[in-house]
């Protein structure tokens, strides 16, 4: 029997990440206006582009004196991973009709991670939509708050919001580090990122890590036993210290 939405572990994790990520929209709004975009351009980015990495890449290039073309290119490159996320989510959720377009728009790191962090198909759906729509609403609201009140608020770092983002990404990664191989891949990709940072524009180190990860997946698959546990469609919460583990177990006895 499916759990009610109230007790849904997918919805709960989705709401948590929505609040954490949505609040971070303050920093985007403030930094975007500071980089030279006006309030409406800033709002359009959160409303229509809606991909934190791509948005930060865009304003990062502009703030660093780059051209709008370079900024759009950086944003597009950083958005490529969303196509992979879309492929995974299409296989998990099978959205039809207009829902496919809505799902595509709220396909981001957090909605994917929330969805694939659940094992029950219903919870995967709930996690995706609660995280995706929740972040969309809050991200846009707090983008405006940040854009209008950025100067008055002062440095978002003072509030530790950059630290909150670090914690959120680690919280999303943590449940996936069940096997030694997963941990090794995380370390290798983190190292590749750190090595790349000084040499390529901001945002690109993440793509370098993606290429490294894809190469490990593509060329390493012959050696690893089938079903090693790296596929996104199996339960990443089982046997870990992850948040939501106890809830999920309680919800699915």
Footprint of another protein on 143-202 (CB under 8 A): 157-174, 176-177, 182, 185-190, 192-194, 197-202
87 binds another protein (CB under 8 A): yes
Please pick, from the candidates 3, 27, 107, 124, the single residue that binds another protein as defined by CB under 8 A: 107
Binding segment toward another protein, per CB under 8 A, in 97-105, 121-129, 133-141, 143-151 = 97-105
Closest-CA residue to 174 (of 89, 113, 125, 84): 113
CB of 164 to another protein, least distance (A): 4
**Contact status, residue 110 vs residue 135, Cβ threshold 8 Å:** yes
Distance separating alpha carbons of residues 13 and 74, to the nearest angstrom: 30
Q: Which is nearer to another protein, 1 or 195 (CB)?
A: 195
Considering only CA atoms, which of 101, 142, 143, 134 is closest in space to residue 115? 134
Q: What's the Cα-to-Cα distance from 237 to each of 4, 9, 203, 251, rounded to whole Å?
A: 20, 11, 29, 13
Tell me how long the chain is: 253
Binding of another protein at residue 48 (CB under 8 A)?
yes
Residues numbered 56-75 forming contacts with another protein, rule: CB under 8 A: 58, 60, 62, 64, 68-69, 71-72, 75
237 binds another protein (CB under 8 A): no
Q: Among 218, 223, 225, 239, which residue sits at the site for another protein (rule: CB under 8 A)?
A: 218
Select 90 or 252, whichever has its Cβ closest to another protein.
Answer: 90
Residue (141 or 210) nearer to another protein, CB = 210
Q: Which stretches within the chain are classed as H helix? A: 9-23, 25-35, 39-44, 52-63, 68-93, 98-105, 109-116, 121-153, 161-173, 180-196, 204-220, 245-251
Q: Can you tell me which of 5, 80, 122, 250 binds another protein, judged by CB under 8 A?
A: 80
């Amino acid at each position: 029997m499916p759990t009610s939405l109230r007790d849904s572990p997918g919805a709960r994790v989705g709401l948590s990440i929505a609040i954490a990520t949505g609040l971070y929209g303050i920093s985007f709004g403030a930094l975007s206006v500071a980089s030279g975009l006006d309030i409406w351009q800033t709002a359009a980015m959160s409303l229509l582009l809606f991909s934190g990495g791509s948005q930060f890449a865009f304003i990062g290039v502009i703030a660093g004196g780059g051209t709008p073309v370079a900024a759009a290119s950086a944003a597009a490159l950083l958005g490529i991973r969303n196509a992979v996320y879309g492929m995974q989510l299409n296989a998990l959720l099978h959205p039809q009709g207009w829902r496919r377009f809505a799902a595509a728009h709220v396909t981001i790191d957090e909605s994917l991670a929330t969805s694939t962090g659940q094992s029950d198909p219903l919870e995967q759906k709930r996690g995706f939509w609660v995280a995706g729509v929740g972040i969309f609403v809050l991200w846009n609201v707090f983008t405006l708050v940040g854009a209008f009140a950025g100067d008055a608020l002062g440095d978002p770092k003072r509030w530790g919001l950059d630290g909150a983002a670090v914690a959120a990404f680690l919280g999303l990664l943590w449940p996936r580090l069940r096997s030694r191989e997963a941990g090794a891949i995380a370390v290798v990709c983190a190292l590749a990122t750190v090595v790349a940072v000084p040499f390529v524009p901001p945002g690109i180190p993440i793509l370098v890590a993606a290429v490294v990860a894809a190469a490990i997946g593509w060329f390493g698959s012959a050696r690893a036993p089938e079903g090693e546990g790296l596929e996104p469609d199996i339960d990443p919460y089982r046997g870990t210290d992850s948040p939501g583990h106890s809830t999920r177990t309680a919800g699915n006895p």
